[in-house]
Structure 1
Amino acid sequence: MATDDWAQWHTAHEQQLAAPHGFLAITSLNFLTTTPQRFPDAPGAWSTGPAGVVVALDDGETVTVDGVEKTGTVTLGVIAEREGIDVLAGDAVLEVAKRGGFDIVRPRHPAHALREQFHGTPAYEPDEKWVLSGRFVPFEAPRDVTVGAAVEGLEHVYESPGQVEFEALGTPLALTVFNGRSPGSFFALFTDETSGVTTYAANRSLAIDAPTADGTVTLDFTRATNLPCAYTDFATCPLPPAENRLPIAVEAGEKIPYERSA
């Protein structure tokens, strides 16, 4: 297979993870309530209620929203599930989002040690045998699938259009897939026999391009990636549905991050 293409893809993936305000820059995960709370890594007292997320800034504190500097009490409004607003505070980005039905604030500081000390993610050498052909089998109607999360007590609900059936190491398998970022594409969350041994225990993710007219898809497990929870405890990543626990060792894709190995 084209190892140069794979190397370029993996480098780009790591650069996105370690961007100045990427997931490795997150310094805390804060769940908002109706009672205003202050956090050591963000200005203001934060709360949520019927009007959505509100931050009350003390004298001398400011944030910037949509390019406008704000003081006093700032109402950010109701945020939809899996959506978010980036609020600027100095060189930090305060991610204000809704995850699993809860409003959260996650400050992202470029100087966070986890980001500054990041030196890449180990991965299996790409091997053509892990680039597999499969077939998308749609459900009669899309289904809402509830899955757990990296944060105890949190749940996520994703719409699933169907399953992808394939064969690996002589074993017939199937993965429940969710809708991907681009129209018609999918992603699958899975674990396998390497999980907790050489790959991250909780989950890995596989992006799958839109199927051809006859339902054929390609599953490139050499590009199976870790989710942010593999690196930081401040992530709310979804866990795979139970049926996506593959009974084989998928010796492809990203391995346990150095940060977790230590």
Structure 2
Amino acid sequence: MSTPDWAEWHAEHERTLADPHGFLAVTSLNFLDATPRRFPDAPGEWATGPSGPFVVLQSGESLTLDGVELTGRHEFGVLPERGGVFPVSGDAVIEVARRGGFDVVRPRHPSNPLRVEFHGTPTYAFSGKWQLNGRFVAYETPRDVTVGAAVEGLEHVYSSPGVVEFEALGTPLSLTVFNGRTAGSFFALFTDETSGVTTYAANRSLAIDPPAANGTVTLDFNRATNLPCAYTDFATCPLPPAGNRLPVAVEAGEKIPYERVA
């Protein structure tokens, strides 16, 4: 990836972040239990039980899901971990999801000031020295890895197919990786010596393309990105595995968002 390619990639990344119903539009994070509750930024009374989350909509209230208007009581069914649905309410969507074993409701309003006032994320300048070669080393069988979360008391479990070994600034390093969005790809959650100084303290994420036949991969730390918790307290982002705390300063990728600078 060259400087112009990186600039185009990052511009698209920020457009996605600032989507009208993206994470910058989230106005609250609500953990459901058996007691029906009403939230100021979503219609209906919400609760969850053995059959999954449900909403009870009063007269004059409705949601739309997959083009179908919902009224009265609607059950969303048992949701898979990291799954969810997005019924529509006016110009907002009401995310109903399962995170860390809990059912949550997370309204997303395009008019949220965090989204409206967003003007980009500071980054390090693109540098070819942070495009590193590595090698994927697969486990005999994938391993479940439990990590913490940005929300205290919450945990996430990810399946890890193996580790990526590489060298940076003369130091041999490795990262536990998880399965990525596309077949054969990975992502790594990590911190480094810049974390809490120039980059967000809790985590950054690095997408890694599928390895070549001989296991080689490219780690382009220019594409190290913040997770949503870097911008909003209404995110349940996973934290890096303990072994992914790199003892070098990765001066590449996204920095602490303007919104988090004191």
Q: What is aligned with 1:36?
A: 36
Residue by residue over 1:142-201, the C-alpha shift from the partner in whole angstroms, topping out at 9 and shown as x without a partner, is 100000000000000000000000000000000000000000100000000000000000
Deviation of residue 51 (structure 1)?
A: 1.4
Residue 174 (structure 1) aligns with: 174
Match for residue 145 of structure 2? 145
Residue 70 of structure 1 and its aligned partner are, at CA, apart by 1.3
Deviations 1:186-241 (A, max 9, x none): 00000000000000000000000000010000000000000000000000000000
Identify which range, 72-81 or 116-125, moves more after superposition: 72-81
Stretches of structure 2 that go unaligned for 5 or more consecutive residues are none
Equivalences, count: 262
**SS at structure 1 position matched to 2:44:** strand
Q: Distance in 1 between the 2:211 and 2:4 partners? A: 25
Residue of structure 2 equivalent to 1:190:
190
Q: Measure how far apart 1:104 and its partner are.
A: 0.3
Q: C-alpha offsets along residues 117-146 of structure 1, whole Å, 9 cap, x if unaligned? A: 000000000100000000000111110000
Distance 2:108 2:30 in 1: 12
Q: Tell me by how many angstroms 1:91 deviates.
A: 0.6
1:213 aligns with 2:183: no
Q: TM-score, normalized by length of structure 2?
A: 0.99
**Matched AA of 2:16:** Q
Equivalence for 2:26 = 26
Deviation above 3 Å: which 4+ runs of structure 1?
A: none
Identity of aligned residues (%): 75
After superposition, residues 70-109 of structure 1 pair within 5 angstroms as 70-109=70-109
- Structure 2: distance between partners of 1:90 and 1:178: 36
TM-score by length of 1: 0.99
Distance 1:32 1:148 in 2: 20
| 3-state SS of 1:42 partner | coil
Equivalent-residue separation in structure 2 for 1:183 and 1:73 (angstroms): 38
Which segments of 5 or more consecutive residues in structure 1 lack a partner in the other structure?
none
SS at match of 1:195: coil
Distance in 2 of aligned mates of 1:70 and 1:247: 52
Where in structure 2 are the equivalents of 1:105-120 lying within 5 Å?
Answer: 105-120=105-120
Shift of 1:2: 1.5
Determine the C-alpha separation between the residues in 2 that align with 1:67 and 1:115.
Answer: 26
